[in-house]
């Protein structure tokens, strides 16, 4: 028996739509997958191997030479052979004949996007996209160590933690979270079949930090869009709370710190964030790059002027963002470099500094002004939405 047929017989999966398959007069509702009645076929599933072309895969699966030749003539706009990736999955559908025939091959581009190859008579190719459904959920978690761990410990999608960190980036210091801080969220989770593929809209969230509640209401119309507090103030501020995500503070702002390299007591007018080498570093606000280069003990440094009052600097970088030059305009959250250990440094970290009117200030206690609030003409509409969402998130007993 040919090797590919033996593999097919061992690994095939046959799906039935009737529980009692011995009852010949019972009507069976066909089960469809990718538009194919899969209960009419044996199905073999596998992964594209490294260096394997789609033509080689088809030949291995038992496609005729004629079909392989037709496949080689397919135009890129119909199916781009160069985009086939090792590790991507495929499904092959065979008849139940004594000599099984390969009728369909599905190449799975992603969990939602698939390409169907119909090999009967002549080659036909068409895309197939699986439906994405949303499920509205309520979630609550108490933080014992970090936002990330709280999501994992409560079996929540990690994307929820990432989205919350973005929403609260201007108002919550995620490097200073305390045990028993907590969050609640009313949101939609997206699924393909039974597999979660991420988070859709977050309608409302509440983050309790150091005993204070921080609400985030998703309000948008043709003129405004974003997350707002209970008074209609935007959660988006002029400056981010921190220039990188999911790290820890290893040294704070001080005018008398013993330097770990020089072993002398000297001012450290910044905050050190311990983070792995290569972690992206973001500008805390819009501005213009006024310095870029190696600055003595600070190593590779980028300094940004945000306005006539504030400027910030990012020290010990391993490298700079591509295309960044003195005079470059940067936006809030834009990556300007990567964590390193250049200059006078004992290990990978970011030394982050802020000046107000040319005087160093503690970034952790800096008050950042918000952007414009919701226009007064929309406040009635906003308050109605706010009140309904508060009922959702404050009165429901969450079960994780």
Q: Each residue of 284-296: pLDDT tens digit?
A: 999 999 999 998 8
Task: Give the C-alpha distances (Å, rounded to integers) separating 322 from 244, 246, 338.
Answer: 18, 23, 11
Considering the chain, tell me which residue range(s) the CATH 2.70.70.10 domain(s) occupy: 248-365
Closest CA to 157 of 125, 114, 189: 189
pLDDT of residue 345: 80
Superfamily of domain 248-365: Glucose Permease (Domain IIA) (2.70.70.10)
- CATH number of the domain located at residue range(s) 131-237+370-400 in this protein: 3.10.450.350
Task: Give the C-alpha distances (Å, rounded to integers) separating 23 from 18, 27, 29.
Answer: 9, 9, 14
Task: Determine the average pLDDT of the residues in 222-248.
Answer: 85
pLDDT (tens digit per residue) in 310-345: 899 999 999 999 999 999 999 999 999 999 999 988
Instruction: Encode 342-361: b = buried (16+ Cβ within 10 Å), e = exposed.
Output: bbbbeebbbbbbbbeeeebb
pLDDT of residue 2: 40
pLDDT greater than 70 at residue 199:
yes
pLDDT of residue 36: 86
Considering the chain, what percentage of its residues have pLDDT values greater than 70?
A: 85
Confidence of residue 264 (pLDDT cuts 50, 70, 90): very low
Q: What is the mean pLDDT of the chain?
A: 84
pLDDT of residue 5: 37
For residue 182 the two structure tokens come to 């907590």
Considering the chain, tell me which residue range(s) the CATH 3.10.450.350 domain(s) occupy: 3-129, 131-237+370-400
State the residue for tokens 């990330």.
Answer: 148
pLDDT greater than 60 at residue 139:
yes
Backbone angles phi, psi at 163, to 5 degrees: -65, -40
pLDDT greater than 60 at residue 246:
no
The second-level CATH assignment, the architecture, of 3-129 is Roll (3.10)
Which residues, other chains included, contact 279 with Cβ-Cβ below 8 Å and sequence gap of 6+?
A: 244, 247, 338, 339, 350
**C-alpha Rg value of the chain to the nearest Å:** 28
pLDDT greater than 90 at residue 19:
no
């Amino acid at each position: 028996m040919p090797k590919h047929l033996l593999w097919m017989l061992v690994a095939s999966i046959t799906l039935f739509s009737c529980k009692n398959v011995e009852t010949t007069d019972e009507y069976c509702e066909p089960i469809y997958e990718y538009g194919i009645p899969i209960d009419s076929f044996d199905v073999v599933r596998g992964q594209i191997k490294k260096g394997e072309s789609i033509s080689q895969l088809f030949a291995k699966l038992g496609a005729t030479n004629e079909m392989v030749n037709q496949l080689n003539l397919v135009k890129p706009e119909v199916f781009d052979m160069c985009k086939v990736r090792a590790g991507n999955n495929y499904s092959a559908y065979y008849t139940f004949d004594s000599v099984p025939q390969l009728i369909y091959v599905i190449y799975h581009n992603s969990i939602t996007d698939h390409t169907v190859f119909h090999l009967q008579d002549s080659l036909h190719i068409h895309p197939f996209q699986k439906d994405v459904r949303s499920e509205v959920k309520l979630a609550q978690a108490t933080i014992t160590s970090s936002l990330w761990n709280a999501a994992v410990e409560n079996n929540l999608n990690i994307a929820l933690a990432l989205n919350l960190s973005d929403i609260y980036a201007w108002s919550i210091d995620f490097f200073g979270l305390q045990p028993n801080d907590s969050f609640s969220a009313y949101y939609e989770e997206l699924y393909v079949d039974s597999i979660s593929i991420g988070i859709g809209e977050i309608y409302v969230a509440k983050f309790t930090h150091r005993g204070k509640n921080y609400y985030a209401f998703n309000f948008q119309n043709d003129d405004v869009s974003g997350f707002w507090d209970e008074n209609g103030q935007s959660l988006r501020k002029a400056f981010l709370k921190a220039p990188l995500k999911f790290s820890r503070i290893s040294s704070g702002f001080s005018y008398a710190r013993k330097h770990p390299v020089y072993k002398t007591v000297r001012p450290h007018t910044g905050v050190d964030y311990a983070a792995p080498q290569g972690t992206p570093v973001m500008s805390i606000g819009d501005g213009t790059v006024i310095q870029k280069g190696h600055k003595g003990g600070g190593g590779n440094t980028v300094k940004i002027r945000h306005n006539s009052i504030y400027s910030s600097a990012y020290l010990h970088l391993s490298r700079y963002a591509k295309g960044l030059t003195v005079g470059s305009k940067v936006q809030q959250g834009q990556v300007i470099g990567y964590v390193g250990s250049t200059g006078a440094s004992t290990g990978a970290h970011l030394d982050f500094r802020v000046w107000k009117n040319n005087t160093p200030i503690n970034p952790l206690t800096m008050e950042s002004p918000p952007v414009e609030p919701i226009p007064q003409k929309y406040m009635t509409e906003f308050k109605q939405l706010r009140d309904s969402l508060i009922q959702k998130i404050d009165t429901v007993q969450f079960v994780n």
